[in-house]
Amino acid sequence: MLLYRTASAWWVETAPGLGIPLRAANKLTAREDLSAYLEGVLLDGVSEGLRPGIRGTIQEMRIFCQPWKIPFAAVKAPVILWQGTLDQNVPVPASLRLAHLIPGCELHYIEDAGHYWIFDHIEEVLTAIVKKMTHHHSS
């Protein structure tokens, strides 16, 4: 529960920067409320992104399908990567390849989860991040 309160505090501080009215963020007290709200925001974002047409989506697919000119081997920060095993948007082998390209990357598979697995696993993610950052700063 402490972790959820930490996530909620982060959300309330972060929401205005994301363009989400603070009064809406403050009303989110239960985990289910937060999940439902985020799902609505996500769907609204997708709708807004597609409003002018699909050219942006097609460009995104072109970028995704080409080699990225990013020096992943130069990444020094701690990296944790999560992947739903039933994700239909990002192929599982893509996450495995990315994890191999980034030195020290920690890869977690979320069994039987799709692309939006985060809604059901936020506590697990925040716990891992806190643990990783605590270890990183103490070494």
Q: Tens place of pLDDT for every residue, the chain, 139 residues? A: 334 444 445 555 555 555 444 445 455 555 566 667 777 877 888 788 888 888 888 888 888 788 888 999 999 989 999 999 999 888 899 899 999 999 999 999 999 998 888 877 888 888 888 888 887 667 6
Same domain, 62 and 73: no
Same domain, 15 and 47: yes
Select from 66, 84, 117 the last residue of a domain: 66
Select from 41, 66, 91 the last residue of a domain: 66
Q: How far apart are CA 81 and CA 75, in angstroms?
A: 14
- Contact between 64 and 71 under an 8 Å Cβ cutoff? The reply is no
The structural domain count of the chain equals 2
Structure confidence at residue 4 (pLDDT): 42
pTM metric for this prediction: 0.59
Select from 66, 85, 119 the last residue of a domain: 66
Rg for the chain, CA atoms, rounded: 17
Cα 66–chain centre separation = 22
Same domain, 58 and 107: no
CA atoms within 13 A on the CB side of 32: 0
